């Protein structure tokens, strides 16, 4: 707690990692950070307290919040782009958003909402599903068959998998 307070209140301090360098807020391009499943560029304008000697980044709470906001925004835009191009591809093949929503069990209008409004981040699960469907639209039939095989009085999940592997 005391360390954090110190980091947050002082602009420059000696690096506790190497004991030699001075840590100063630095804004520079070419930095990257992992965010969920992606490695994303850190905005060049974002100041991160960085040791001039060893390069250790000292990310305090306020920097972490800014970094998180920037990365979330970039992550959302990339996931949304994948969703958009996948749906465009499917649309070229006359497969509507509505039929994709139906087969994936999504509520009606969900995919339109996802690609047009700014407040939702598509999950990796959904974005990758749509990309897989766009790569091989036959998979829509596969999924429909899968739901059929799971329906009725004697559902057979193992049989579904067996059927899938013989079909592949
Ligand atoms: Zn250092």
Q: Is residue 69 part of a domain?
A: yes
Q: Is residue 162 part of a domain?
A: no
Give ion ligand 1 contacts, CB < 5 A: 15, 17-18, 21, 51, 53-54, 56
CA of 53 to the centre of ligand 1 (A): 5
CATH number of the CATH domain containing 72: 3.10.20.860
Q: Is residue 124 part of a domain?
A: yes
pLDDT of residue 5: 47
pLDDT of residue 133: 97
More confident residue, 65 or 117: 65
CA of 31 to the centre of ligand 1 (A): 17
CA of 30 to the centre of ligand 1 (A): 19
pLDDT of residue 167: 47
Q: Can you read off the two tokens belonging to residue 89? A: 């591809």
Q: Is residue 103 part of a domain?
A: yes
Q: What is the pLDDT of residues 118-132, one digit of tens each?
A: 688 999 999 999 999
Q: How far apart are CA 164 and CA 166, in angstroms?
A: 6
Q: What is the pLDDT of residues 2-60, one digit of tens each?
A: 444 455 556 899 999 999 999 999 999 999 999 999 999 999 999 999 999 999 999 99
Q: Is residue 117 part of a domain?
A: yes
Q: Is residue 159 part of a domain?
A: no
Q: How many CB atoms lie within 10 A of CB 84?
A: 17
CA of 36 to the centre of ligand 1 (A): 27
Q: Can you read off the two tokens belonging to residue 158? A: 């193992």
Counted residue by residue, the chain has a size of 168
CA of 35 to the centre of ligand 1 (A): 24
Q: Is residue 132 part of a domain?
A: yes
CA of 161 to the centre of ligand 1 (A): 54
Q: Is residue 12 part of a domain?
A: yes
Q: The tokens 């000292």 sit on which residue? A: 58
CA of 14 to the centre of ligand 1 (A): 8
Centroid of chain to Cα 131: 14
CA of 25 to the centre of ligand 1 (A): 13
Residue 159 clears pLDDT 60, i.e. is over it: yes
Q: What is the pLDDT of residues 140-151, one digit of tens each?
A: 999 998 899 899
Q: How many domains does the chain have?
A: 1
Q: Domain containing 134: what range? A: 2-140
User: Rounded mean pLDDT of the chain?
Assistant: 89
Judge whether 11 and 24 are in contact, CB under 8 Å.
yes
User: pTM higher than 0.75, yes or no?
Assistant: yes
Q: What is the pLDDT of residues 82-121, one digit of tens each?
A: 999 999 999 999 999 999 999 999 999 999 998 887 688 9
């Amino acid at each position: 707690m005391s360390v954090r307070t110190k980091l947050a209140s002082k602009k420059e301090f000696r690096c506790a990692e190497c004991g030699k360098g001075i840590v100063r807020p630095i804004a520079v391009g070419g930095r990257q950070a992992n965010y969920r499943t992606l490695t994303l560029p850190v905005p060049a304008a974002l100041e991160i307290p960085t040791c001039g000697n060893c390069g250790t980044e000292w990310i305090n709470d306020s920097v972490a919040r800014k970094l998180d906001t920037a990365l979330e925004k970039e992550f959302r835009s990339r996931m949304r782009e994948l969703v958009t191009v996948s749906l465009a591809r499917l649309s070229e093949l006359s497969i509507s958003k509505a039929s994709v929503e139906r087969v994936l069990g999504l509520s009606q209008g969900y995919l339109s909402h996802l690609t047009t409004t700014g407040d939702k981040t598509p999950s990796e699960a959904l974005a990758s599903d749509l990309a897989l469907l766009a790569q091989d639209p036959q998979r829509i039939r596969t999924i429909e068959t899968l739901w059929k095989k799971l329906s009725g009085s004697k559902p057979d999940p193992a049989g579904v998998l067996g059927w899938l592997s013989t079909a592949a």
